């Protein structure tokens, strides 16, 4: 077993899974504290790395595409303080972090865990019931029903329609975009057979998130819903029937090359990931 305990959190690897527990330090983000402990099975991992810094280092886990509904729902838009797959390591624990990486990489190699995408969720989404208030409303989810309630800041036409209750069978997709700068973000539910191009401010199936208040907790609602929707890989049908974007695959190859060059990916991880992309081409 490998274990590293830091103010930022505690990571434990028992050979089959990693248990990631956020720390109680005041600098640990509210998002990570609310998300709570994560259990990541070994087969969900694509790689692990450790980056040293002058004052502190950083452990990073890289999950296989499609393994985690949180990563799918947020689309890589979570900032570093809110990323549950990063751990800040104090300089006097660099040796422990390197040992931790060696243990996980060794297990990945021995179990021959591939780095290619998966067609089912291997990490559970956030626990429910869940309720978050931000922007112009409150989004609640009990595992089957989504309820959207509006506050006094909601645009009049949107508020006039009253609260909304949607079931999972109503939902075709969920999108979360964080506020950036002074630009507002949103949590949007796409309802089957009722597409809309209305801005979130006017869309009764969206919560608008204010640009001046960076509040990522709505991402938890998005992830909890995403975890209970059909996996995109199965929803789209057999992978062979889905046309691949050649330019996107080339960009992925370049990204993998850069990760390998900077040491984030080992030679073996890079080779496995590259082969998976080449097969899709």
Structure tokens, 241 = 């029937």
In tens, the pLDDT along 29-63 reads: 999 999 999 999 999 999 999 999 888 999 999 99
162-219: pLDDT as tens digits:
999 999 999 999 999 998 877 899 999 999 888 788 899 999 999 999 875 667 899 9
The pLDDT value given to residue 249 = 63
The answer on pLDDT for 228 being more than 50 is yes
CB 179 within 8 A of CB 213: yes
pLDDT at 240 over 50: no
Predicted pLDDT at 241: 37
Residue 276 has pLDDT above 90, yes or no: no
The CA distance from 82 to 106, in Å, is 28
- The 3-state DSSP class for residue 247 equals helix
Residue 271: pLDDT band with limits 50, 70, 90: confident
Q: What is the pLDDT of residue 179?
A: 86
Measure the CA–CA gap between 30 and 24, rounded to whole angstroms: 10
Average pLDDT, rounded, for the chain: 88
| Confidence at 251, pLDDT banded by 50, 70, 90 | low
111: alpha, beta or left? (left if phi > 0; alpha if psi -120 to 50): alpha
Exposure letters 106-133 (e unless 16+ CB within 10 A, then b)? ebbeeeebebebbeebbbebbebebebe
| High-pLDDT (> 70) share of the chain, % | 86
What is the structure's pLDDT at 5?
Answer: 97
pLDDT exceeds cutoff 80 at 231: yes
Residue 235 is predicted with a pLDDT of 64
Q: Is the pLDDT of residue 141 over 90?
A: yes
Q: Which residue has the higher pLDDT, 23 or 258?
A: 23
pLDDT value of position 238: 39
pLDDT attached to residue 97 = 96
| Range 143-166 average pLDDT | 93
The whole-angstrom separation of Cα 155 and Cα 144 is 27
Section 94-112 average pLDDT:
96
pTM of the model: 0.80
Rounded distance between C-alpha atoms, residue 50 and residue 262, angstroms: 11
pLDDT mean over 89-105:
96
What's residue 265's pLDDT?
66
Residue 243 confidence (pLDDT) above 50: no
């Amino acid at each position: 077993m490998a274990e590293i305990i830091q103010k930022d959190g505690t990571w434990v690897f028992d050979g089959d899974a990693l248990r990631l527990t956020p720390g109680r330090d005041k600098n640990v983000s509210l998002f990570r504290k609310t998300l709570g402990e994560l259990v990541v099975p070994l087969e969900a991992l694509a790689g692990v790395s450790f980056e040293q810094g002058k004052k502190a280092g950083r452990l990073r886990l890289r999950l296989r595409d499609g393994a985690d509904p949180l990563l799918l729902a947020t689309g890589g838009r979570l900032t570093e303080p809110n990323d549950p797959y990063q751990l800040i390591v104090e300089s006097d624990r660099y040796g422990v972090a390197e040992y931790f990486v060696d243990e996980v990489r060794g297990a990945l190699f021995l179990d021959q865990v591939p780095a290619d995408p998966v067609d089912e969720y291997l990490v559970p989404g956030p626990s429910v019931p869940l309720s978050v208030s931000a922007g112009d409303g409150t989004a609640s989810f009990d595992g089957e029903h989504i309820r959207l309630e509006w506050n006094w800041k909601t645009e009049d036409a949107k508020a006039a329609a009253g609260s909304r209750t949607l079931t999972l069978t109503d939902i075709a997709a969920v999108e979360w975009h964080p506020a950036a700068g002074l630009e507002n973000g949103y949590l949007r539910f796409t309802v089957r057979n009722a597409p809309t191009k209305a801005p979130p401010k006017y869309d009764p199936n969206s919560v608008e998130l204010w640009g001046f208040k960076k509040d990522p907790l709505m991402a938890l609602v998005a992830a909890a819903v995403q975890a209970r929707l059909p996996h995109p890989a199965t929803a789209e049908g057999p992978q062979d029937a889905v046309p691949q974007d050649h330019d996107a695959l080339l960009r992925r190859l370049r990204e993998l090359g850069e990760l390998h060059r900077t040491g984030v990916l080992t030679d073996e991880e890079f080779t496995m990931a590259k082969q998976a992309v080449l097969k899709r081409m």
